[in-house]
Structure 1
Amino acid sequence: MSEQTPDTGSPSIRPLMRSAIYEASNPRLRLANATRSVLQHSATSTASGVNVLAAVELLEQAAALLAVGPHGRSYHASAEGAVGGATHGFASHSPVTGPLNALAGVVDIEITPTEVIATATYGDAYEGPPGCLHGGLIAAIFDEVLGFAQALSGAPGMTGRLEVTYRSPTPLHQPLRIIGRFDEVNGRKIMTTGEIYAGERLCAQATGVFISVKAEKFADLNAVRQTPG
Protein backbone atom coordinates (compact mmCIF):
# COMPACT_ATOMS: atom_id res chain seq x y z
CA MET A 1 0.00 0.00 0.00
CA SER A 2 1.19 3.51 -0.79
CA GLU A 3 -0.24 6.43 1.11
CA GLN A 4 0.72 10.09 1.27
CA THR A 5 -0.32 11.42 4.66
CA PRO A 6 -0.31 15.24 5.00
CA ASP A 7 1.80 16.88 7.68
CA THR A 8 -1.04 17.73 10.07
CA GLY A 9 0.72 17.55 13.41
CA SER A 10 -1.50 14.55 14.13
CA PRO A 11 -0.20 11.00 14.28
CA SER A 12 0.24 9.56 10.83
CA ILE A 13 -2.38 7.04 9.86
CA ARG A 14 -1.13 3.51 9.34
CA PRO A 15 -3.95 0.96 9.20
CA LEU A 16 -4.38 -1.97 11.51
CA MET A 17 -5.98 -3.90 8.67
CA ARG A 18 -4.94 -3.30 5.04
CA SER A 19 -7.98 -2.57 2.94
CA ALA A 20 -9.17 -0.27 0.17
CA ILE A 21 -10.54 2.20 2.70
CA TYR A 22 -6.96 3.07 3.70
CA GLU A 23 -5.79 3.95 0.20
CA ALA A 24 -4.83 7.60 -0.25
CA SER A 25 -7.30 7.89 -3.13
CA ASN A 26 -10.25 7.06 -0.87
CA PRO A 27 -12.27 10.30 -0.67
CA ARG A 28 -13.35 9.62 2.91
CA LEU A 29 -9.76 9.18 4.03
CA ARG A 30 -8.85 12.40 2.21
CA LEU A 31 -11.73 14.14 3.99
CA ALA A 32 -10.54 12.91 7.38
CA ASN A 33 -6.93 13.92 6.68
CA ALA A 34 -7.95 17.39 5.49
CA THR A 35 -10.10 17.87 8.59
CA ARG A 36 -7.22 16.78 10.82
CA SER A 37 -5.06 19.41 9.17
CA VAL A 38 -7.69 22.09 9.84
CA LEU A 39 -7.97 21.04 13.49
CA GLN A 40 -4.21 21.22 13.95
CA HIS A 41 -3.80 24.60 12.26
CA SER A 42 -6.80 26.09 14.07
CA ALA A 43 -5.12 25.24 17.39
CA THR A 44 -1.99 27.28 16.67
CA SER A 45 -2.67 29.60 13.73
CA THR A 46 -1.99 33.33 14.04
CA ALA A 47 -3.57 34.09 10.68
CA SER A 48 -5.23 37.45 10.13
CA GLY A 49 -8.91 37.93 10.83
CA VAL A 50 -9.54 38.21 7.09
CA ASN A 51 -7.95 34.82 6.43
CA VAL A 52 -9.76 33.26 9.38
CA LEU A 53 -13.13 34.50 8.07
CA ALA A 54 -12.29 33.21 4.59
CA ALA A 55 -11.50 29.82 6.10
CA VAL A 56 -14.77 29.89 8.04
CA GLU A 57 -16.73 30.46 4.83
CA LEU A 58 -15.03 27.50 3.16
CA LEU A 59 -15.68 25.29 6.17
CA GLU A 60 -19.34 26.30 6.26
CA GLN A 61 -19.64 25.40 2.58
CA ALA A 62 -18.01 22.03 3.23
CA ALA A 63 -20.34 21.36 6.17
CA ALA A 64 -23.36 22.18 4.00
CA LEU A 65 -22.21 19.72 1.33
CA LEU A 66 -21.73 16.96 3.88
CA ALA A 67 -25.12 17.64 5.48
CA VAL A 68 -26.90 16.55 2.27
CA GLY A 69 -28.12 12.98 2.07
CA PRO A 70 -28.62 10.14 4.56
CA HIS A 71 -26.33 9.69 7.55
CA GLY A 72 -25.37 6.79 9.78
CA ARG A 73 -23.24 3.69 9.92
CA SER A 74 -23.33 0.22 11.43
CA TYR A 75 -20.58 -1.70 13.17
CA HIS A 76 -19.47 -5.04 11.78
CA ALA A 77 -17.25 -5.86 14.76
CA SER A 78 -18.55 -7.83 17.73
CA ALA A 79 -16.81 -5.97 20.54
CA GLU A 80 -14.28 -3.31 21.39
CA GLY A 81 -10.93 -3.83 19.80
CA ALA A 82 -12.30 -5.98 17.00
CA VAL A 83 -10.30 -5.29 13.90
CA GLY A 84 -12.70 -5.75 11.03
CA GLY A 85 -11.64 -3.83 7.95
CA ALA A 86 -15.16 -2.96 6.84
CA THR A 87 -15.71 0.58 5.60
CA HIS A 88 -18.10 1.25 8.47
CA GLY A 89 -16.39 -0.92 11.07
CA PHE A 90 -15.25 0.09 14.54
CA ALA A 91 -11.55 0.19 13.69
CA SER A 92 -11.93 2.58 10.77
CA HIS A 93 -14.15 5.06 12.66
CA SER A 94 -12.74 4.91 16.19
CA PRO A 95 -12.32 8.43 17.65
CA VAL A 96 -8.93 7.35 19.01
CA THR A 97 -7.30 5.42 16.15
CA GLY A 98 -9.78 5.38 13.26
CA PRO A 99 -8.27 6.70 10.02
CA LEU A 100 -11.71 7.78 8.80
CA ASN A 101 -12.42 9.76 11.99
CA ALA A 102 -10.79 13.20 11.96
CA LEU A 103 -10.67 13.24 15.77
CA ALA A 104 -8.46 10.18 15.81
CA GLY A 105 -4.80 10.20 16.51
CA VAL A 106 -2.55 7.20 16.67
CA VAL A 107 -1.83 4.68 14.42
CA ASP A 108 0.98 2.47 13.27
CA ILE A 109 -0.30 -0.53 15.17
CA GLU A 110 1.39 -3.92 15.23
CA ILE A 111 -0.38 -6.93 16.70
CA THR A 112 1.59 -9.97 17.85
CA PRO A 113 0.20 -13.14 19.47
CA THR A 114 0.74 -11.65 22.95
CA GLU A 115 0.72 -7.85 22.71
CA VAL A 116 -0.16 -4.74 20.73
CA ILE A 117 2.43 -2.06 19.96
CA ALA A 118 1.35 1.37 18.73
CA THR A 119 3.48 4.38 17.86
CA ALA A 120 2.42 8.00 17.39
CA THR A 121 3.63 11.57 17.54
CA TYR A 122 1.04 14.11 18.73
CA GLY A 123 0.86 17.78 17.77
CA ASP A 124 -0.39 20.89 19.55
CA ALA A 125 -4.08 20.12 19.01
CA TYR A 126 -3.71 17.40 21.66
CA GLU A 127 -2.02 19.54 24.31
CA GLY A 128 -2.90 19.42 28.01
CA PRO A 129 -0.18 20.84 30.27
CA PRO A 130 2.27 23.04 28.30
CA GLY A 131 4.13 20.89 25.81
CA CYS A 132 2.49 17.70 27.06
CA LEU A 133 -0.18 15.31 25.86
CA HIS A 134 -3.56 15.73 27.56
CA GLY A 135 -4.08 13.22 30.37
CA GLY A 136 -7.60 12.39 29.26
CA LEU A 137 -6.32 11.47 25.83
CA ILE A 138 -3.69 9.26 27.44
CA ALA A 139 -6.50 7.34 29.15
CA ALA A 140 -8.38 7.06 25.85
CA ILE A 141 -5.28 5.73 24.11
CA PHE A 142 -4.86 3.08 26.78
CA ASP A 143 -8.53 2.12 26.48
CA GLU A 144 -8.07 1.65 22.75
CA VAL A 145 -4.75 -0.21 22.77
CA LEU A 146 -5.75 -2.45 25.69
CA GLY A 147 -9.03 -2.98 23.85
CA PHE A 148 -7.13 -4.38 20.89
CA ALA A 149 -4.97 -6.46 23.24
CA GLN A 150 -7.92 -8.03 25.05
CA ALA A 151 -9.25 -9.25 21.71
CA LEU A 152 -6.27 -11.64 21.72
CA SER A 153 -8.15 -13.60 24.40
CA GLY A 154 -10.47 -14.97 21.73
CA ALA A 155 -13.56 -13.78 23.64
CA PRO A 156 -13.35 -9.98 23.41
CA GLY A 157 -15.58 -7.65 25.34
CA MET A 158 -16.05 -4.10 26.57
CA THR A 159 -14.22 -2.00 29.14
CA GLY A 160 -15.15 -2.79 32.74
CA ARG A 161 -12.41 -0.89 34.54
CA LEU A 162 -9.43 1.19 33.45
CA GLU A 163 -6.79 2.47 35.89
CA VAL A 164 -4.05 4.84 34.70
CA THR A 165 -0.95 5.88 36.64
CA TYR A 166 0.85 8.93 35.24
CA ARG A 167 4.59 8.50 35.84
CA SER A 168 6.09 11.49 34.00
CA PRO A 169 4.97 14.15 31.49
CA THR A 170 4.10 12.70 28.10
CA PRO A 171 5.64 15.01 25.49
CA LEU A 172 4.20 16.40 22.29
CA HIS A 173 6.18 16.29 19.04
CA GLN A 174 8.12 13.21 20.11
CA PRO A 175 7.51 9.60 19.05
CA LEU A 176 5.59 7.66 21.68
CA ARG A 177 5.49 3.89 22.04
CA ILE A 178 2.28 2.44 23.49
CA ILE A 179 2.25 -1.20 24.54
CA GLY A 180 -0.80 -3.24 25.48
CA ARG A 181 -0.82 -6.89 26.44
CA PHE A 182 -3.39 -9.56 27.21
CA ASP A 183 -2.51 -11.15 30.56
CA GLU A 184 -5.21 -13.63 31.56
CA VAL A 185 -8.90 -14.54 31.59
CA ASN A 186 -10.86 -15.00 34.81
CA GLY A 187 -14.40 -16.04 33.96
CA ARG A 188 -15.82 -13.24 31.83
CA LYS A 189 -13.07 -10.86 32.95
CA ILE A 190 -10.15 -10.25 30.59
CA MET A 191 -7.07 -8.74 32.27
CA THR A 192 -4.72 -6.41 30.41
CA THR A 193 -1.76 -4.13 31.17
CA GLY A 194 0.10 -1.47 29.22
CA GLU A 195 2.63 1.35 29.20
CA ILE A 196 3.47 4.50 27.26
CA TYR A 197 7.11 5.40 26.66
CA ALA A 198 8.87 8.44 25.21
CA GLY A 199 12.17 6.92 24.20
CA GLU A 200 13.17 4.82 27.20
CA ARG A 201 11.30 7.02 29.69
CA LEU A 202 8.12 5.58 31.19
CA CYS A 203 5.32 8.14 30.93
CA ALA A 204 2.25 6.19 32.05
CA GLN A 205 1.03 2.73 33.02
CA ALA A 206 -2.43 1.19 32.88
CA THR A 207 -4.37 -1.88 33.89
CA GLY A 208 -7.64 -2.72 32.23
CA VAL A 209 -10.39 -5.22 32.93
CA PHE A 210 -12.68 -6.02 30.02
CA ILE A 211 -15.93 -7.97 30.29
CA SER A 212 -16.50 -10.55 27.59
CA VAL A 213 -19.63 -9.80 25.56
CA LYS A 214 -21.57 -12.22 23.38
CA ALA A 215 -21.95 -11.25 19.74
CA GLU A 216 -25.73 -11.21 20.21
CA LYS A 217 -25.46 -8.48 22.85
CA PHE A 218 -23.39 -6.28 20.59
CA ALA A 219 -25.91 -6.86 17.80
CA ASP A 220 -28.67 -5.68 20.15
CA LEU A 221 -26.72 -2.49 20.92
CA ASN A 222 -26.22 -1.85 17.23
CA ALA A 223 -29.92 -2.39 16.54
CA VAL A 224 -30.82 0.26 19.12
CA ARG A 225 -28.30 2.63 17.55
CA GLN A 226 -29.92 2.20 14.14
CA THR A 227 -33.44 2.87 15.43
CA PRO A 228 -34.69 6.31 14.24
CA GLY A 229 -35.25 8.87 17.01
Structure 2
Amino acid sequence: MTASQPNADGSTEVAHSPRVDGLHGLPETQRRVAIRRLAAVGREMIETMSITDATSARLDEAAAALEAVVESLRREPVGSDYVGHAEVATAGLTLAERQALVEAGDPEAWAQFDHSPLIGLANPMSPPLSMYYEGARVIASATFGAAFEGPPSCVHGGYIAAAFDEVLGAAQSMSGVQGMTANLSVNYRSPTPLMTPLRIEAWLDRIDGRKIFVRGEMYAGDRLTADATGLFIAPDPEVFAALMEVRADMTRARRERGA
Protein backbone atom coordinates (compact mmCIF):
# COMPACT_ATOMS: atom_id res chain seq x y z
CA MET A 1 0.00 0.00 0.00
CA THR A 2 1.44 3.36 -0.98
CA ALA A 3 1.14 6.66 0.83
CA SER A 4 -1.40 7.81 -1.75
CA GLN A 5 -3.83 5.05 -0.75
CA PRO A 6 -5.42 5.80 2.65
CA ASN A 7 -6.21 3.21 5.27
CA ALA A 8 -9.78 2.40 6.18
CA ASP A 9 -9.40 4.79 9.12
CA GLY A 10 -8.26 7.64 6.84
CA SER A 11 -4.56 7.51 7.75
CA THR A 12 -1.78 6.82 5.26
CA GLU A 13 0.73 5.04 7.50
CA VAL A 14 1.25 1.35 6.75
CA ALA A 15 -0.22 -0.49 9.72
CA HIS A 16 0.73 -3.89 11.02
CA SER A 17 -1.45 -6.91 11.70
CA PRO A 18 -2.40 -8.15 15.18
CA ARG A 19 -2.29 -11.69 13.82
CA VAL A 20 1.45 -11.24 13.33
CA ASP A 21 2.48 -8.78 16.04
CA GLY A 22 -0.06 -10.00 18.56
CA LEU A 23 0.94 -13.65 18.37
CA HIS A 24 4.67 -12.89 18.39
CA GLY A 25 4.24 -10.52 21.33
CA LEU A 26 2.50 -12.92 23.72
CA PRO A 27 4.48 -13.46 26.93
CA GLU A 28 5.87 -16.97 27.31
CA THR A 29 4.23 -17.78 30.62
CA GLN A 30 4.71 -21.19 32.21
CA ARG A 31 1.19 -22.21 31.23
CA ARG A 32 1.60 -21.01 27.62
CA VAL A 33 4.81 -23.01 27.25
CA ALA A 34 3.02 -26.07 28.66
CA ILE A 35 -0.09 -25.79 26.46
CA ARG A 36 2.06 -25.25 23.37
CA ARG A 37 4.09 -28.34 24.30
CA LEU A 38 0.88 -30.35 24.70
CA ALA A 39 -0.40 -29.07 21.34
CA ALA A 40 2.89 -30.00 19.65
CA VAL A 41 2.56 -33.55 20.98
CA GLY A 42 -1.04 -33.64 19.76
CA ARG A 43 0.11 -32.44 16.32
CA GLU A 44 2.65 -35.25 16.17
CA MET A 45 -0.02 -37.72 17.28
CA ILE A 46 -2.37 -36.62 14.49
CA GLU A 47 0.40 -36.93 11.92
CA THR A 48 1.48 -40.34 13.21
CA MET A 49 -2.10 -41.63 13.21
CA SER A 50 -2.41 -40.57 9.55
CA ILE A 51 0.47 -42.78 8.41
CA THR A 52 0.76 -45.61 10.93
CA ASP A 53 0.40 -49.26 9.90
CA ALA A 54 0.43 -50.56 13.47
CA THR A 55 -1.41 -53.74 14.45
CA SER A 56 -4.92 -53.60 15.87
CA ALA A 57 -3.55 -54.60 19.28
CA ARG A 58 -1.08 -51.73 19.26
CA LEU A 59 -3.79 -49.32 18.14
CA ASP A 60 -6.09 -50.46 20.96
CA GLU A 61 -3.24 -49.94 23.43
CA ALA A 62 -2.60 -46.44 22.13
CA ALA A 63 -6.32 -45.58 22.22
CA ALA A 64 -6.55 -46.68 25.84
CA ALA A 65 -3.56 -44.51 26.77
CA LEU A 66 -5.07 -41.48 25.04
CA GLU A 67 -8.46 -42.08 26.66
CA ALA A 68 -6.75 -41.96 30.06
CA VAL A 69 -5.10 -38.63 29.19
CA VAL A 70 -8.39 -37.16 27.95
CA GLU A 71 -10.22 -38.30 31.07
CA SER A 72 -7.52 -36.72 33.24
CA LEU A 73 -7.79 -33.38 31.44
CA ARG A 74 -11.59 -33.48 31.61
CA ARG A 75 -11.29 -33.26 35.40
CA GLU A 76 -9.63 -29.86 35.01
CA PRO A 77 -11.52 -26.54 34.66
CA VAL A 78 -13.23 -26.08 31.28
CA GLY A 79 -13.22 -22.97 29.13
CA SER A 80 -11.17 -20.96 26.66
CA ASP A 81 -12.47 -17.43 27.05
CA TYR A 82 -11.47 -14.58 24.81
CA VAL A 83 -9.47 -12.51 27.27
CA GLY A 84 -8.58 -8.87 27.50
CA HIS A 85 -9.12 -6.65 24.47
CA ALA A 86 -9.37 -9.49 21.98
CA GLU A 87 -10.11 -9.01 18.28
CA VAL A 88 -13.83 -9.48 18.74
CA ALA A 89 -13.96 -7.04 21.63
CA THR A 90 -12.44 -4.26 19.54
CA ALA A 91 -14.34 -4.63 16.28
CA GLY A 92 -14.23 -1.46 14.23
CA LEU A 93 -11.40 0.14 16.21
CA THR A 94 -8.32 1.29 14.36
CA LEU A 95 -5.04 -0.52 14.93
CA ALA A 96 -3.73 2.51 16.81
CA GLU A 97 -6.74 2.44 19.16
CA ARG A 98 -6.36 -1.29 19.77
CA GLN A 99 -2.63 -0.90 20.36
CA ALA A 100 -3.33 1.83 22.89
CA LEU A 101 -5.46 -0.66 24.80
CA VAL A 102 -2.62 -3.18 24.67
CA GLU A 103 -0.14 -0.62 25.94
CA ALA A 104 -2.54 0.17 28.78
CA GLY A 105 -1.40 -3.06 30.39
CA ASP A 106 -3.01 -6.14 28.85
CA PRO A 107 -0.21 -8.48 27.69
CA GLU A 108 -2.77 -11.14 26.74
CA ALA A 109 -4.66 -8.83 24.38
CA TRP A 110 -4.30 -11.12 21.37
CA ALA A 111 -4.20 -14.49 23.17
CA GLN A 112 -6.98 -15.93 20.99
CA PHE A 113 -4.59 -16.14 18.03
CA ASP A 114 -2.55 -18.79 19.89
CA HIS A 115 -5.59 -21.06 19.53
CA SER A 116 -6.12 -20.42 15.81
CA PRO A 117 -6.52 -23.64 13.75
CA LEU A 118 -4.04 -22.18 11.24
CA ILE A 119 -1.39 -20.22 13.18
CA GLY A 120 -1.99 -21.19 16.80
CA LEU A 121 0.90 -22.87 18.57
CA ALA A 122 -1.56 -23.94 21.27
CA ASN A 123 -3.83 -25.70 18.77
CA PRO A 124 -2.86 -29.27 17.73
CA MET A 125 -4.87 -28.92 14.51
CA SER A 126 -2.75 -26.07 13.12
CA PRO A 127 0.07 -26.90 10.64
CA PRO A 128 1.08 -24.23 11.99
CA LEU A 129 1.63 -21.29 9.65
CA SER A 130 4.37 -18.83 10.63
CA MET A 131 3.80 -15.22 9.51
CA TYR A 132 6.07 -12.20 9.17
CA TYR A 133 6.40 -9.03 7.09
CA GLU A 134 8.26 -8.18 3.91
CA GLY A 135 7.60 -4.51 3.33
CA ALA A 136 3.84 -4.00 2.91
CA ARG A 137 3.22 -7.74 2.45
CA VAL A 138 2.44 -10.48 4.91
CA ILE A 139 4.44 -13.66 4.25
CA ALA A 140 3.49 -17.05 5.66
CA SER A 141 5.42 -20.29 5.59
CA ALA A 142 4.13 -23.75 6.38
CA THR A 143 4.65 -27.42 5.67
CA PHE A 144 1.51 -29.55 5.52
CA GLY A 145 1.89 -33.15 6.65
CA ALA A 146 0.03 -36.33 5.75
CA ALA A 147 -3.01 -35.39 7.85
CA PHE A 148 -3.81 -32.64 5.30
CA GLU A 149 -3.73 -34.86 2.20
CA GLY A 150 -6.36 -34.47 -0.53
CA PRO A 151 -5.23 -35.70 -3.96
CA PRO A 152 -2.34 -38.20 -3.71
CA SER A 153 0.72 -36.47 -2.19
CA CYS A 154 -1.03 -33.07 -2.34
CA VAL A 155 -2.57 -30.68 0.18
CA HIS A 156 -6.38 -30.81 0.31
CA GLY A 157 -7.89 -27.80 -1.45
CA GLY A 158 -9.97 -26.91 1.59
CA TYR A 159 -6.86 -26.41 3.69
CA ILE A 160 -5.32 -24.28 0.95
CA ALA A 161 -8.39 -22.04 1.05
CA ALA A 162 -8.26 -21.90 4.85
CA ALA A 163 -4.59 -20.90 4.73
CA PHE A 164 -5.40 -18.10 2.30
CA ASP A 165 -8.23 -16.92 4.55
CA GLU A 166 -5.83 -16.67 7.48
CA VAL A 167 -3.01 -14.92 5.64
CA LEU A 168 -5.23 -12.58 3.63
CA GLY A 169 -6.96 -11.83 6.92
CA ALA A 170 -3.63 -10.77 8.37
CA ALA A 171 -2.91 -8.58 5.35
CA GLN A 172 -6.28 -6.85 5.44
CA SER A 173 -5.57 -5.82 9.04
CA MET A 174 -2.80 -3.65 7.63
CA SER A 175 -5.58 -1.36 6.41
CA GLY A 176 -5.82 -0.15 10.00
CA VAL A 177 -9.19 -1.81 10.72
CA GLN A 178 -9.92 -5.46 11.47
CA GLY A 179 -12.50 -6.87 9.03
CA MET A 180 -14.31 -10.16 8.56
CA THR A 181 -14.22 -12.36 5.47
CA ALA A 182 -17.11 -11.63 3.10
CA ASN A 183 -15.80 -13.44 0.03
CA LEU A 184 -12.79 -15.62 -0.76
CA SER A 185 -11.98 -16.85 -4.27
CA VAL A 186 -9.16 -19.37 -4.84
CA ASN A 187 -7.63 -20.47 -8.15
CA TYR A 188 -5.75 -23.76 -7.97
CA ARG A 189 -2.95 -23.37 -10.52
CA SER A 190 -0.87 -26.53 -9.96
CA PRO A 191 -0.60 -29.34 -7.38
CA THR A 192 0.36 -28.15 -3.89
CA PRO A 193 2.69 -30.80 -2.45
CA LEU A 194 2.70 -32.27 1.05
CA MET A 195 5.91 -32.39 3.11
CA THR A 196 7.20 -29.33 1.25
CA PRO A 197 7.86 -25.82 2.58
CA LEU A 198 5.22 -23.51 1.14
CA ARG A 199 5.22 -19.73 0.95
CA ILE A 200 2.11 -17.55 0.92
CA GLU A 201 2.25 -13.86 0.09
CA ALA A 202 -0.65 -11.48 0.72
CA TRP A 203 -1.10 -7.75 0.22
CA LEU A 204 -3.73 -5.03 0.22
CA ASP A 205 -5.25 -4.39 -3.19
CA ARG A 206 -7.61 -1.49 -2.51
CA ILE A 207 -10.04 -0.06 0.04
CA ASP A 208 -13.56 1.16 -0.63
CA GLY A 209 -15.23 2.43 2.53
CA ARG A 210 -15.75 -0.55 4.85
CA LYS A 211 -14.69 -2.94 2.07
CA ILE A 212 -11.08 -4.14 2.09
CA PHE A 213 -9.81 -6.02 -0.98
CA VAL A 214 -6.79 -8.32 -0.64
CA ARG A 215 -4.80 -10.60 -2.96
CA GLY A 216 -2.48 -13.53 -2.33
CA GLU A 217 -0.33 -16.21 -3.93
CA MET A 218 1.00 -19.59 -2.78
CA TYR A 219 4.30 -21.06 -3.94
CA ALA A 220 6.15 -24.35 -3.65
CA GLY A 221 9.67 -23.16 -4.38
CA ASP A 222 9.35 -20.94 -7.45
CA ARG A 223 6.19 -22.66 -8.70
CA LEU A 224 2.84 -20.94 -8.24
CA THR A 225 0.36 -23.48 -6.87
CA ALA A 226 -2.61 -21.20 -6.13
CA ASP A 227 -3.71 -17.59 -5.94
CA ALA A 228 -6.62 -15.90 -4.22
CA THR A 229 -8.62 -12.72 -3.87
CA GLY A 230 -10.52 -11.76 -0.75
CA LEU A 231 -13.08 -9.20 0.30
CA PHE A 232 -13.16 -8.26 3.98
CA ILE A 233 -15.67 -5.93 5.60
CA ALA A 234 -15.15 -3.94 8.79
CA PRO A 235 -18.11 -5.14 10.88
CA ASP A 236 -20.59 -3.33 13.06
CA PRO A 237 -19.39 -3.63 16.69
CA GLU A 238 -22.93 -4.67 17.69
CA VAL A 239 -22.62 -7.75 15.48
CA PHE A 240 -19.47 -8.79 17.31
CA ALA A 241 -21.09 -8.08 20.66
CA ALA A 242 -23.86 -10.54 19.76
CA LEU A 243 -21.30 -13.16 18.70
CA MET A 244 -19.44 -12.67 21.97
CA GLU A 245 -22.63 -13.35 23.91
CA VAL A 246 -23.24 -16.56 21.96
CA ARG A 247 -19.68 -17.65 22.69
CA ALA A 248 -20.12 -16.86 26.39
CA ASP A 249 -23.20 -19.09 26.43
CA MET A 250 -21.19 -21.89 24.80
CA THR A 251 -18.45 -21.55 27.43
CA ARG A 252 -20.99 -21.65 30.26
CA ALA A 253 -22.59 -24.77 28.77
CA ARG A 254 -19.20 -26.52 28.53
CA ARG A 255 -18.44 -25.70 32.14
CA GLU A 256 -21.80 -27.00 33.29
CA ARG A 257 -21.26 -30.27 31.42
CA GLY A 258 -17.85 -30.61 33.03
CA ALA A 259 -19.12 -29.87 36.52
Normalised by the length of structure 1, the TM-score is 0.85
How far, CA to CA, are the matches of 1:218 and 1:108 in structure 2?
27
Q: Which secondary structure does the structure 2 equivalent of 1:129 belong to?
A: coil
Q: Which has the higher helix share?
A: 2
Task: Write the mapping of 1:1-229 to structure 2, written as runs, cut at 5 A.
Answer: 16-21=23-28, 26-75=33-82, 76-78=86-88, 86=108, 89-112=111-134, 114-227=136-249, 228-229=252-253
Alpha carbons of 1:21 and 1:198: their partners in 2 closer, same or farther (altered >3 Å)?
same
How far, CA to CA, are the matches of 1:17 and 1:214 in structure 2?
28
Shift of 1:25: 7.6
Amino acid at match of 1:105: P
Of structures 1 and 2, the larger Rg is shown by 2
Kept in 2: contact 1:24–1:30 (CA 8 A): no
Shift of 1:216: 4.9
Kept in 2: contact 1:106–1:118 (CA 8 A): no
How far, CA to CA, are the matches of 1:38 and 1:118 in structure 2?
24
Amino acid at match of 1:169: P
Alpha carbons of 1:202 and 1:24: their partners in 2 closer, same or farther (altered >3 Å)?
farther
Q: Which secondary structure does the structure 1 equivalent of 2:38 belong to?
A: helix
Amino acid at match of 2:161: A
Shift of 1:181: 0.9
Amino acid at match of 2:172: Q
Kept in 2: contact 1:126–1:133 (CA 8 A): yes
Amino acid at match of 1:33: A
Amino acid at match of 2:78: H
Q: Deviations over 1:95-119 (max 9, x none)?
A: 1111111111132210345211011
Deviates more, 1:169-178 or 1:86-95: 86-95
Q: Which secondary structure does the structure 2 equivalent of 1:195 belong to?
A: strand
Kept in 1: contact 2:181–2:232 (CA 8 A): yes
Q: Which secondary structure does the structure 2 equivalent of 1:26 belong to?
A: helix
How far, CA to CA, are the matches of 1:67 and 1:224 in structure 2?
23
Alpha carbons of 1:140 and 1:127: their partners in 2 closer, same or farther (altered >3 Å)?
same
How far, CA to CA, are the matches of 2:60 and 2:28 in structure 1?
33
Query: Structure 1 stretches of 5 or more lacking a match?
Result: 1-14
Shift of 1:68: 1.5
Amino acid at match of 1:49: S
Shift of 1:74: 2.5
RMSD: 2.6
Q: Deviations over 1:159-205 (max 9, x none)?
A: 00000000000001111001111222111110000010001100000
Normalised by the length of structure 2, the TM-score is 0.75
